[in-house]
Structure 1
Amino acid sequence: MRAAVLHAPGDLRVEDRPAAAAPRPGQVRLRVVRAGLCGTDASEFDHGPVLTPLTTAHPVTGVQGPIALGHEFIGEVLDLGDGVEGLAVGDRVAAGAGVWCGDCRWCADGRFNLCRRYFTYGLNLDGGLTEAITVEARMLVPVPAGIDDDNAALAQPLAVGLHAVNRSGVRPGDVAVVLGAGAIGSFILAGVAEIGCRVVIAADVDPERLTTATALGADRPVNLREESLADVVAEVTGGDGADVVFEASGVKGNPQLAQQLLRRGGRLQLVGLHPGGTELNLLDLSVREIDISTSLAHVCPVDLPAALEILRKRDLSALLVERVVPLDRIVEDAFGPLAARTARGKFLVDPTPATA
């Protein structure tokens, strides 16, 4: 079968791989229907390895060397291992991609994304940019009828956005700011739109992203090149400040800006990654009792079903997907634009073999 395999930065090859293994107890073999690409995939391709074990064996999976990317995928059940319940051959399922042990203290607390032995298909071992894959059944959720393949393929990244929303404690009636309306910011906006906030402010430097943000549910788009976000927040809140600010950009200096936007007792939700570190005013955090929360990935049994429920009600693919590309064209038509930063939306991959 064919798979998109990362060998080194800039070296992604669509090549033949052995067929997906027969499922062991607790596993399911899937025909992959759609796979999504995100900024993490683009980073691994452009200047990795960061998360992929290309040069060092992963401590949990033991995998080292080239791997098939793809941690956002949906599929059709081909066959089931012993002990799998609630699924049947022919079912469409969304994959959470991350797998947890179920035995450690973090799993006991329901924080499966922090599991001591957590690993992710497509980052720590072969993933969904392939024709078929065998994975753990525990991370699969059936796709409800009425959700088409392109929309269902957004379930995993939407679950990541919903986890950030849940961690933030945002409530109905709040004023929420999403700083950075790109890939993850868009999914945060889709989640915040379900809360019933008084005002949702979306801030970015890209007018097209802000147009999409408005369609997703933002009440007040702010182009950071043309307006002062601090002035807009002050105007909307009568000078009090926002209840919650999501820092989803990963841009240097934006965590400090986010802190300044908050009211006394507000919450800063850090979602964008800042590998170089950042400085925050700790005195200000203390005297204004500002809470800081962070988020990583998602809690599959909670966030993935919730994402599918939103996708059942809303066609987010019409707003967020730029195009669907065949697997054999993934480098030229998807990773190329992602690495060059010319992509305007999300890319999905159809691994279905071409017919003569």
Structure 2
Amino acid sequence: MKAAVYYGHHDVRIEERPMPTRGQGEALIRVLRSGICGTDATEWRSGPHLFPVDGTPHPLTGHVGPLILGHEFIGEVVEVGPQSPFAVGDRVAAGAGVWCGECPRCLEGRTNLCWSYTTFGLNVDGGMAEYVAAPEKMLAPIPAGMSLDAAGLSQPLAVGFHAARRSTAQPGDRVVLISAGAIGTFVLAALLSFGDIEVTVVDFAGPKLDRALRLGATRIIPAGDDVVADVLAAVHPRGADVVIEASGAPGQLANAIRMVRAGGSILQLGLPAHAPEVDLPAIVLREVTLRTTNAHVFSEDLGPALQLLASGGLADELLDSVHPLADIADQLERLATGRLEGKVLFDPTMG
């Protein structure tokens, strides 16, 4: 089968790889869409950082050497075992990671923090290929009539749902969302699905900010030297109830601290390239809660993501294009250099 295989810095190759073998409790899937995200772009631009290709086996999966990319994938079931909840021909969306179900974090329902959590396309071969074998417990049925392009965005939207839940934003809250990029837009969509939440989106003026307004943001504020003052003037002079920092850009956590009210909450989603300075007195003396978020919880986030994508035009706003696997290096470069406004998907059946 054809697969997009990561070897190292600026080195992803389309190769012939053996067909995967379905294990117990797994389904063999013909991949129909697979996506890339910021993690893939970082590994392309400056890695390897996370991918186990440097000769050291991954501590949980044992994988070492070149890695098939792809942790955002959907497809068609082509083979299952006995007592499977799926049948050959079913269309399914995959959560990115596998959890044990038995450790303390799993028993709390926080399967994304499982002690043995492993992620397809990061710790073990993934779904940027014609076929992948995946545990049935990390698969969800795609709603009838839903387009493949829309379903292909479900895993990153699930990450947005998890972030929105972690923010603790409730109907009636004033929320400031820093970043109108792809992940910020997924968070915005999830927040708006929760009910009457006022969301102010901050980013540089341009198409991404305009998209946030079309999707239902209460207001948009262009980033600039006076952005904190502009936000406080528009939202409330004492600050927002919740601020979500989804950019990871320098200085934005500091801005979030200045934008949130006393007793409010900050959710840090964006990953900065360098450790930011944190004004601890401004947090401690005002009892501001600082939360973080990582990945998603399959049982709580993937289903709502699929339903939201099936019900409206969110995919039309967020999908940039669909490509054959042969285009992956060009598209990783676009993503790594900030030249993508939306999400790119790959169809291994093309070309």
Normalised-by-shorter TM-score class: over 0.9
1:248 equivalenced with 2:217 (yes/no): no
**Alpha carbons 2:31, 2:127 under 8 Å: kept:** yes
Aligned to 1:31: 30
1:196 equivalenced with 2:195 (yes/no): yes
CA distance in 2, matches of 1:238, 1:252: 24
Deviations 1:182-240 (A, max 9, x none): 12111101111112344211111241110111122212111113x73322332233412
Deviations 1:223-277 (A, max 9, x none): 113x733223322334121011000000111111101101111100010012522
Once the two structures are TM-superposed, the CA of residue 49 in structure 1 deviates from its matched residue by 1.1
Q: How does 1:114-263 map to 2 (within 5 A)?
A: 114-225=113-224, 228-263=226-261
Aligned to 2:306: 308
CA distance in 1, matches of 2:129, 2:13: 12
CA distance in 2, matches of 1:264, 1:68: 46
Aligned to 2:68: 68
Specify every segment of 5 or more residues in structure 1 that has no aligned partner in the other structure, as ranges.
Answer: none
Deviations 1:268-319 (A, max 9, x none): 0010012522222222212211111100000011110111111121222210
CA distance in 2, matches of 1:178, 1:353: 37
**Amino acid of the residue matched to residue 318 of structure 1?**
D
Aligned to 1:336: 333
CA distance in 2, matches of 1:206, 1:300: 34
CA distance in 2, matches of 1:238, 1:5: 49
Moved segments of 4+, more than 4 Å: none
Aligned to 1:52: 51
Aligned to 1:347: 344
**Alpha carbons 1:38, 1:183 under 8 Å: kept:** no
Aligned to 2:94: 95
Once the two structures are TM-superposed, the CA of residue 83 in structure 1 deviates from its matched residue by 4.0
**Alpha carbons 2:325, 2:346 under 8 Å: kept:** yes
**Amino acid of the residue matched to residue 344 of structure 1?**
E
Deviations 1:159-178 (A, max 9, x none): 00110100111000111111
**Alpha carbons 2:170, 2:197 under 8 Å: kept:** no
**Amino acid of the residue matched to residue 348 of structure 1?**
L
CA distance in 1, matches of 2:192, 2:59: 39
Larger mean Cα displacement after TM superposition, 302-311 or 313-322? 313-322
CA distance in 2, matches of 1:132, 1:139: 16
Which secondary structure state, in structure 1, belongs to the residue aligned with residue 241 of structure 2? strand
CA distance in 2, matches of 1:57, 1:25: 23
Deviations 1:14-67 (A, max 9, x none): 01000121x222101000010111111111111111221111221100001101
1:11 equivalenced with 2:11 (yes/no): yes
Once the two structures are TM-superposed, the CA of residue 330 in structure 1 deviates from its matched residue by 2.1
State the identity as a percent: 45
Deviations 1:115-155 (A, max 9, x none): 01000001111111100000111110001112200000110
Distance 1:262 1:340, change over 3 A: closer
**Alpha carbons 1:247, 1:269 under 8 Å: kept:** yes
Once the two structures are TM-superposed, the CA of residue 157 in structure 1 deviates from its matched residue by 0.2
CA distance in 2, matches of 1:182, 1:96: 21
Distance 1:238 1:67, change over 3 A: closer
**Amino acid of the residue matched to residue 143 of structure 1?**
I
TM-score in terms of structure 2 length: 0.96
CA distance in 2, matches of 1:314, 1:179: 24
**Amino acid of the residue matched to residue 248 of structure 1?**
A
Distance 1:26 1:314, change over 3 A: same
Count of residue correspondences: 350
TM-score in terms of structure 1 length: 0.95
**Alpha carbons 2:245, 2:252 under 8 Å: kept:** yes
Which secondary structure state, in structure 2, belongs to the residue aligned with residue 161 of structure 1? helix
Which secondary structure state, in structure 1, belongs to the residue aligned with residue 243 of structure 2? strand
1:79 equivalenced with 2:79 (yes/no): yes
Deviations 1:96-118 (A, max 9, x none): 02000111111111110000100
Specify every segment of 5 or more residues in structure 2 that has no aligned partner in the other structure, as ranges.
Answer: none
CA distance in 1, matches of 2:214, 2:28: 37
**Amino acid of the residue matched to residue 201 of structure 1?**
T
**Alpha carbons 1:25, 1:83 under 8 Å: kept:** no
